[in-house]
Structure 1
Amino acid sequence: MTIILTAVLACASGGVWAHSGGTDSQGCHMDHKTGIRHCH
């Protein structure tokens, strides 16, 4: 059961990509390629 749960969680987290860049005091930053500000 543990192996199945681990496999499911590993597959579910595959779509999450980290990126570099500092955040401001509100935890947000600007994506200069798209011009969109987003927060974490």
Structure 2
Amino acid sequence: MNVVSLVIAAVLSFSSVAAFAHSGGTDAKGCHTNHKTGGYHCH
């Protein structure tokens, strides 16, 4: 692998972790309520 490929792989791996990481449990359907906004979403 060249340096550009390694940099791209590193950026993608860090951005995907930040995009999906959050606190809060999920219900039986894999969903949960954001108590700050009142929104409900599934994963």
Report the TM-score, using the length of structure 1 for normalisation: 0.68
* Structure 1 stretches of at least 4 aligned residues deviating more than 6 Å after TM superposition: none
Do structure 1's residue 18 and structure 2's residue 21 form an aligned pair?
yes
Give the superposed CA RMSD. 2.0
Q: Looking at secondary structure, tell me which structure has more strand per residue.
A: 1
Identity of aligned residues (%): 47
Report the TM-score, using the length of structure 2 for normalisation: 0.65
Q: Looking at secondary structure, tell me which structure has more helix per residue.
A: 2
